[in-house]
Amino acid sequence: MTTRHFLTLLDLTPDELKKLIRRAVELKQIRNNGEVYEPLSNQVMAMIFEKSSTRTRVSFEAGMAQLGGHALFLSSRDTQLGRGEPTEDSAKVISSMCDVVMIRTFEHEIVETFAAHSRVPVINALTDDYHPCQLLADMQTFLEHRGDIKGKTVSWIGDGNNMCNSYINAARQFDFKLQVACPEGFDPNPELVAANSDRVTLFRTPEEAVHGSDLVVTDVWASMGQEDEQKQREREFKGYQVTTELMDLANPDALFMHCLPAHRGEEVSAEMMDDPRSVVFDEAENRLHAQKALLEFLLVKPGV
């Protein structure tokens, strides 16, 4: 059987994704009931971080421990990865000793190259282009609060970044409409937009993009690796803050999500973060449950 990877949401079929999200809800219940479920005993995950993280590291490491396995934290600062050892060689070596590899890095090609030379599943834990693990948690959160997202309308406000690109893939895989509002020059990947033009519409004002929306989502204006552009971006993204007033223009039962970390007073107001429509902390917790479902999907063979 060929090794399955999770580099973007397109690596799983819509049906597999739907089942995985439902399984995440079950795994959350299992944990809340205090039941022990350890199908990954004796399995090891390598976690390669070339960028910072709180949620991704904690959720994968805790998730692996809860499933009975073990997780290794590898930063580029103190492994040979940071000293120029080729990705291909690192993939062969690490995948010969571990059962699954999670990578957070810069260029998306790095995770593709790693996966091409890995004998075990590789999970993309964020690249400059995509953040698919976050979308699993977001889809679980919507399901828990509002039911099936199929046929709903989602608004993306702000930078057309890795999260926005993953929302475009999610619109296709989970079958919803996506209304994107970015300042000129900050649109998401144009090929991705063109390939999904039946579901994705670009606007220039947040007000237009939130009209008729069931879920409003934003993210930081300067992502990791763009720290030098922070000040300039604050100027360019003026008017793109998600506020309670902007949310009032969406549907009355619309939810607000943000992958976190959030910059209150920039892409989101402090008031909006604490608003009852904001589910950002449920969303963060669901990283744990959704990724446990992903690990189970990739590592536990049916009937074994």
Q: Which residues bind ligand CP (CB under 6 A)?
A: 53-56, 126, 134, 259-260
Q: Does 165 bind ligand NVA (CB under 6 A)?
A: no
Annotated catalytic residue 134 = yes
Least distance between ligand NVA and beta carbon 178 (Å): 17
Residues 6+ apart with CB under 8 A from 194: none
Annotated catalytic residue 104 = yes
Annotated catalytic residue 182 = no
The residue (of 137 and 202) whose beta carbon lies closer to ligand CP is 137
Q: Does 168 bind ligand NVA (CB under 6 A)?
A: no
CB nearest ligand NVA: which residue? 223
Q: Does 202 bind ligand NVA (CB under 6 A)?
A: no
Among 143, 220, 250, 272, binds ligand NVA (CB under 6 A): 220
Annotated catalytic residue 219 = yes
**Residue 219 interface partner, choices ligand NVA, ligand CP, none, CB cut-off 5-8 Å depending on type:** ligand NVA
Q: Does 163 bind ligand NVA (CB under 6 A)?
A: yes
Q: Which of residues 111-130 bind ligand NVA (CB under 6 A)?
A: 126
Q: Which residues bind ligand NVA (CB under 6 A)?
A: 126, 131, 161-163, 219-220, 223-224, 259
Q: Looking at the annotation, which residues are catalytic? A: 104, 131, 134, 219, 259, 287
